[in-house]
A = this chain, B = another copy of it.
């Protein structure tokens, strides 16, 4: 009906007969497979930023990227797209990697330095540049679940990359809308939104030389926040160095504001970037969406895309803008 693809990934369920997969408790420090010294508990690293002279898969790293031990998609094989009556299916080919963001178990993006966050952004970039060489992939999803309520199963600071043979729905819908706007006006809709929001001010949480954080006009969730580069650019991985620097500072700053005012919320952070193949450079504009998980009222919204939000974006902006935080330095 809707052209939606779903990944059926039965391998991710470890106990075949247990369908109740509550994951409300996080794996704590003493058994953490992401801590230094436990490198043998994870698949071998595909990228690491290391102190000089240390060997792969040993301590001494500042950041590691590893394949996910329970991947949603498998990297080996061919897609074998086929029809099944009126339906479409293909093999679950893809890559699923974990970025272990910091050696310290208790660090968070809000307590890391902006320099440490920038290191994570460079790791994202490096992995995307490498993975997009594989012609089977059409999109790479970069996201972070922080806190059990947001779906994280490990406490140690980490984010994830999933390389996909399809373009996910949420990107496709944004692209369709952005294309329509471009066809009508020959302007990027995100650039237009930025211009209007910066002029109106009421929904601007913070703006720097390169990066702007706003409460979007029609937020689905309380305190949903978008972080956009001012400069037009479709692909996250093609951003200039200054934008990674500015983005790192902005992410740290916005999360510090949320921690201060919203009691250290769980959150999902998702990089929205253009698909590889399509010629979308004129009308798509990469950005980050940050959704703190404040309520369990998601029951209904979940699965319908119909949203009732008890907090206006202007109110959220005021709360976050006035949060007393330390000035974020690199």
User: Hey, which bits of chain A sit against chain B, CB under 8 A?
Assistant: 1-10, 12-13, 19-24, 72, 84-87, 141, 143, 145, 148-152, 168-170, 173-174, 176-178, 181, 189-190, 192-193, 196, 200, 217-224, 261-263, 266, 268, 270, 289, 291, 293-313, 315, 319
A315 touches B10 (CB 8 A): yes
Q: Is the CB of B8 within 8 A of A304?
A: no
A297 contact set on B, CB distance < 8 A: 21, 23, 151
Smallest beta-carbon distance A163→chain B, Å: 13
B12, B168, B296: the one within 8 Å of A151 (CB):
B296
In the complex, the chain B residue whose C-beta lies closest to that of A190 is: B1
Q: Is the CB of A310 within 8 A of B13?
A: yes
For A303, list chain B residues within 8 Å (CB).
170, 220-221, 224, 268, 270, 289, 291
Most chain B Cβ neighbours within 10 Å, of A10, A190, A263: A10
Shortest Cβ distance from A271 into chain B, in angstroms?
11
Which residue of chain B is the closest to A295 with respect to CB atoms?
B21
A-B contact sample (18 more), CB < 8 A, given A2-B177, A19-B262, A221-B303: A1-B181, A2-B173, A6-B220, A9-B309, A9-B310, A12-B308, A19-B261, A20-B295, A21-B310, A151-B296, A151-B299, A169-B304, A169-B305, A170-B304, A170-B306, A224-B303, A268-B303, A301-B302
CB distance from A70 to the nearest CB of B (A): 10
- Given A168-B305, A220-B6, do A13 and B298 touch, yes or no (CB 8 Å)? no
- Given known contacts A168-B306, A170-B304, A302-B268, is B1 in contact with A295 (CB within 8 Å)? no
5 closest Cβ contacts across the A-B interface?
Answer: A151-B299, A1-B177, A150-B299, A6-B218, A13-B310
State how many angstroms separate the Cβ of A261 from the closest Cβ of chain B: 8
CB A167 to nearest CB in B, in angstroms, measures 10
Residue among A20, A189, A196, A299 with max Cβ neighbours from chain B (10 Å): A299
Within the assembled complex, what's the spacing in Å between the Cα atoms of A181 and B87?
A: 12
Do the beta carbons of B291 and A19 come within 8 Å of each other?
A: no
The answer to whether A200 and B262 have CB atoms under 8 Å apart is no
Q: Which residues in B have their C-beta under 8 angstroms from that of A170? A: 303-306
A21 in contact with B302 (CB, 8 Å): no
> How far is A218 from B287 in the complex, measured between Cα atoms in Å?
29
Q: Are B148 and A296 in contact (CB under 8 A)?
A: yes
| Given A268-B300, A298-B298, A298-B302, CB of A311 within 8 Å of CB of B10 | yes
Bound CA–CA A309/B72 (angstroms) = 9
Instruction: Collect the chain B residues with CB atoms within 8 Å of residue A222's CB.
Output: 19, 21
Closest-CB distance, A202 to chain B (whole angstroms):
11
The contact of A1 among B85, B149, B178, by CB within 8 Å, is B178
Chain B residues contacting A1 (CB-CB under 8 Å) are 173-174, 177-178, 181, 189-190
A138 to B311, CA, bound (A): 25
Query: When A169-B306, A299-B149, A306-B141 are in contact, do A20 and B174 touch as well, CB less than 8 Å?
Result: no
